[in-house]
């Protein structure tokens, strides 16, 4: 059963999926947000295509562990996914994943323009890989 990791933002949704054994996470795409209908339609296509059995949504927490307004939006998004697709959805602490993704891209000498295009997808990989590693 493959798992899907999501880094949910206001303008984009970074998407990663696991291999069938749940060992590694790979970035799939960055969905440009165009409204709920289109966003969820694209997610549904990916869920069906990759036969996703569980979805991990990054939960942005404040550094003190509290959940702010961005985290509440991600909680609502996760709840809506679960209600729409009847797939188990888990929230995963995503603190510093975007920072880690930025560092990896910088160390790989990726241009600023290209980093902007892939940062959310790479952050989704970090979210999902951290989840997979914690379950081992």
Model pLDDT for residues 82-120, shown as the tens digit of each residue: 999 999 999 998 865 665 656 765 566 656 666 566 667
pLDDT for residue 74 is more than 60: yes
Domain ranges (residues) in the chain:
2-135
pLDDT for residue 31? 96
In the chain, what are the helix, strand and coil shares in percent, each to the nearest 5? 50, 25, 25
| Local confidence band at 70 (pLDDT 50, 70, 90 cut-offs) | confident
Helix axes 36-49, 69-85, angle to 10 degrees: 60
Task: Compute the C-alpha angle 44/46/49, nearest 5°.
Answer: 110
pLDDT for residue 61? 78
Query: In which region does residue 21 sit, left (phi positive, over 0), alpha (psi from -120 to 50) or beta (all else)?
Result: alpha
Model pLDDT for residues 2-38, shown as the tens digit of each residue: 999 999 999 999 999 999 999 999 999 999 999 999 9
d(CA 78, CA 106): 30
Pick the CATH number of 2-135 from 3.40.50.970, 3.30.420.140, 3.40.630.40, 3.40.50.12780: 3.30.420.140
């Amino acid at each position: 059963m493959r798992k899907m990791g999501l880094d949910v933002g206001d303008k984009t949704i970074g998407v990663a999926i696991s291999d069938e054994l749940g060992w590694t996470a790979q970035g799939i795409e960055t969905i440009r947000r165009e409204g709920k209908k289109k966003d969820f339609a694209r997610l549904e296509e990916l869920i069906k295509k990759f036969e996703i059995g569980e979805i991990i949504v990054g939960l942005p927490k404040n550094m003190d562990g509290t959940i702010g307004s961005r985290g509440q939006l991600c909680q609502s998004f996760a709840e809506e996914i679960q209600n729409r697709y009847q797939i188990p959805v888990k929230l995963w602490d995503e603190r510093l994943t975007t920072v880690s993704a930025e560092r990896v891209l910088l160390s790989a000498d990726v241009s600023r323009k290209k980093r902007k295009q892939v940062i959310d997808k790479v952050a989704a990989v970090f979210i999902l890989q951290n989840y997979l590693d914690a379950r081992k």
